[in-house]
Amino acid sequence: MTVRVRMAPSPTGEPHIGNVRTAVFNWLFARKMGGQFILRIEDTDRTRYQPETVMVIMDGLHWLGLDWDEGPGLEELQYLGLENAGEYAVGGPCGPYTQSERLAMYKEVAEELIERGWAYRCNCTPERLEQVRERQRARKQMLMYDRHCRNLPTDAISPDEPHVIRLKVPLEGQTIVPDTIKGDVAFENEGIDDQVLLKSDGFPTYHLAVVVDDHFMEITHIIRGDDWIPSTPKRILIYQAMGWEVPIYCHVPLVNGPDGKKLSKRHGATSITEFRNQGYLPEALFNFLALLGWAPGEGEEQEIFSRKELIERFDLFRVNRAPAAFSYDKLDWMDGVYIRGLSEEGLLERLLPFWQKAGLVPDPYPDEKWEWLRGIVPLVQERLKRLEEVVEWTAFLFREIEPPLAEKLVGKKMTPEESLMALRRVQSLLAELEPFEPEAMEPPMRALAEELGLKAGQLFGVVRWAVTGQKVAPPLFGSLAVLGREQVLTRLEAAETVLAASI
Ligand code: GLU
């Protein structure tokens, strides 16, 4: 059997990172089994359809390296309102991959379900349905259709008059959802609603569309969040009614926040765009998501895995049954590991867009200044957890700083006079120093601290404030070297003027 799995987003809003994690599982499983990963756009809810969301989803999958083997082709992307998405055009033998382009298929299946005695037409008005619900609410009953039209003669409602088509759920017995992760889950049929399959406007409801598509696209495994379990019996009934083979269900537990509650904005970033903008590396996020609810082995302590290793070791049937807790701290740690693993040039290429976006360096960046920029990388590589942090840490290297307030320039346990004197001594030391390199700076600066009766930290703190305008900055001597002698001396002088004026 060739494994075929799919990601089937409803483009009504930014995809939640939990759905992206589920896409990672689908992709890993497809790649491990040498199967296919399919992207299908479930846009039956046209009122909430947002074309830009389709783009966000495709950009996100592409950024994470989740390539899809079948999905909307060029014409479909244009139909979806995406004129500039040509690079994502894939197509495939089971198209179209957009539900609103497959309406005829759903209608045909709905009519066949009527013929097979598994569905019926219903022309109850919204007012009548509301009355039914009112009654049920008053009696504290489950809200469901009262099957009024189910018992009408088959020709009572003409196909030409406005109506919906409903599933004829058996009144007795159980429907079992076999699930490889959860085991069998049984549902009493009497509690299952006679679900609308086809609406009066000819659009299918999601339940019909998903079954028809999964069948005709020959999906073998349905890997998705376990919040879909309650709606699965209706789908199984449709498969049975049509005599189609039921795919293998693998409902994966949802992703919670660190506090065990459903992961939401309250906890932090939840959309892939946010993670991307905050500067997580895609390979780190991919590694992290793969381990969210799955572990490669009992007692396995290794957490950093290459993409190839993850594909080799992924085991769908060992996905945890309990919800996964999303730890932002762990993601930060993992991202730091990946950042430290990059070459200087590699990290520089990743940092450049963040500096450009913040307006610190021009776009395009002039080649002749590349070496200077590269000099910053070793200053930050050891400490960065996310690429975006580089902007705040290094802005002082790119633009003029406001001279700091006098109080900031007074060193720990020092008087303003002592601080001023220290800055003046540093200025003359650095004016003469050859070469203007970190290794050459440190010994005389330490010796100067000793001569002035200061701890090295006291002296360096004053210089750091004077030159960077901030308390926390990359290593001091490296920063001075990148800034260059002239800038450093100018800033020291400005700081001295501020201090002198305050005395
Ligand atoms: N369109 C559904 C969603 O938005 C897909 C559910 C499924 O995988 O069956 O998540």
pLDDT single digits (tens) 410-463:
999 999 999 999 999 999 999 999 999 999 999 999 999 999 999 999 999 999
Q: Give the integer Cα–Cα distance in Å for 293 and 252.
A: 8
Using alpha carbons, select from 289, 339, 334 the residue that is nearest to residue 314: 289
pLDDT at residue 300, as a whole number: 81
* pLDDT of 305 over the 90 cut: yes
* pLDDT of 298 over the 90 cut: no
15 pocket-lining for ligand 1 (C-beta < 6 Å): no
pLDDT at residue 245, as a whole number: 98
Number of H helices, E strands in the chain: 21, 11
Q: Give the integer Cα–Cα distance in Å for 394 and 445.
A: 23
Residue nearest to atom 6 of ligand 1 (CA): 8
pTM: 0.94
By mean pLDDT, which of 247-251, 331-335, 469-473 is the weakest?
Answer: 469-473
224 pocket-lining for ligand 1 (C-beta < 6 Å): yes
Residues 6+ apart with CB under 8 A from 327: 258
The residue whose CB lies within 8 Å of the most ligand 1 atoms, and thus the one to mutate among 57, 213, 224, is 224
CA distances to 3, 7, 210, 421 from 29, rounded to whole Å, are 8, 12, 20, 67
pLDDT tens-digit series, residues 279-295: 999 999 999 999 999 99
What does R_g of the chain's alpha carbons equal in angstroms? 31
pLDDT tens-digit series, residues 130-159: 999 999 999 999 999 999 999 999 889 999
Using alpha carbons, select from 60, 121, 69 the residue that is nearest to residue 92: 69
The alpha carbon of residue 271 and the mean position of all alpha carbons in its chain are separated, in whole angstroms, by 5
Mean pLDDT, all residues of the chain: 96
42 pocket-lining for ligand 1 (C-beta < 6 Å): yes
Classify strands 324-325 and 221-225 as parallel, antiparallel or unpaired.
unpaired
Residues serving a catalytic function are: 265
pLDDT at residue 154, as a whole number: 84
277 pocket-lining for ligand 1 (C-beta < 6 Å): no
pLDDT at residue 46, as a whole number: 84
CA angle 377/381/386 to nearest 5° reads 110
Spacing, Cα 95 to ligand 1 middle (Å): 18
Helices (H), 185-302: 206-216, 232-242, 272-277, 282-290
pLDDT at residue 215, as a whole number: 98
pLDDT at residue 187, as a whole number: 98
Rounded average pLDDT over 88-95? 98
* pLDDT of 62 over the 80 cut: yes
